[in-house]
Amino acid sequence: MRRRTVLGLGLLALGACASQPPDFSYGGAGFQIDNVRLNLAYAERNFGDMSLYRGKPAEAAAAIAQFEAAVAGMRNPATSIALPMRYGSQVAAAVREERDALGIPLDVLPGTVAQALANAVGPLQSGDQAAITRALSNPIFTLGPQETYQRLSNLPRMWTLESIAPILTRAAGSESGVVLR
């Protein structure tokens, strides 16, 4: 009987973790490369299911900005994030996946992508069309502001990004691991 109770409570706790809504309450600070642990801690919650952002371009931009900032932070030798080497190719594939969806070249540094997307969040939230156009006119958005807006509004499923999110969340609590370069 006691074992069933413990198992039931464990499953209930697991379900509660899996169903937490996205949380960008830490605002622009979360998109900063120096906040790599914070970005990783919210990874599963904020980009574990990108379909939540259909019709929500500001939230989509925030989630991808957070992912790019996390990647930039993990590349920094000063961080001691332990991400097993076997996940490096999956992180790289997730970067390719989201950049293909938004028309962002692979040679743009993750910190630059994070900043450009973070700069678009405010205008996207406000709905100010002129400000949205200015923010999405950044040259890293090779599809142009209108198409980038459309893609942020209707992101495809990002299976690779979503599958790496729980691993990145676990990496937030790790130390002295492999640093991505």
Handedness of CA 159, 56, 150, 123 (dihedral sign): negative
- What average pLDDT does this structure show over 90-113? 96
- What average pLDDT does this structure show over 125-146? 97
Alpha-carbon torsion angle 167, 172, 177, 178, nearest 10:
60
The pLDDT of residue 108: 98
Closest CA to 30 of 20, 49, 17, 43: 43
The pLDDT of residue 145: 98
Domain ranges of the chain: 2-171
- What average pLDDT does this structure show over 10-33? 56
Q: For the purposes of burial, counting CB atoms within 10 Å of the CB of 54, is it exposed (0-12), middle (13-18) or buried (19 or more)?
A: middle
The pLDDT of residue 31: 66
Confidence of residue 25 (pLDDT cuts 50, 70, 90): low
> Whole-prediction pTM value?
0.82
Confidence of residue 117 (pLDDT cuts 50, 70, 90): very high
Task: Evaluate whether 136 touches 145 at the Cβ level (below 8 Å).
Answer: yes
| Sequence letter at residue 158 | M
Task: Evaluate whether 102 touches 151 at the Cβ level (below 8 Å).
Answer: yes
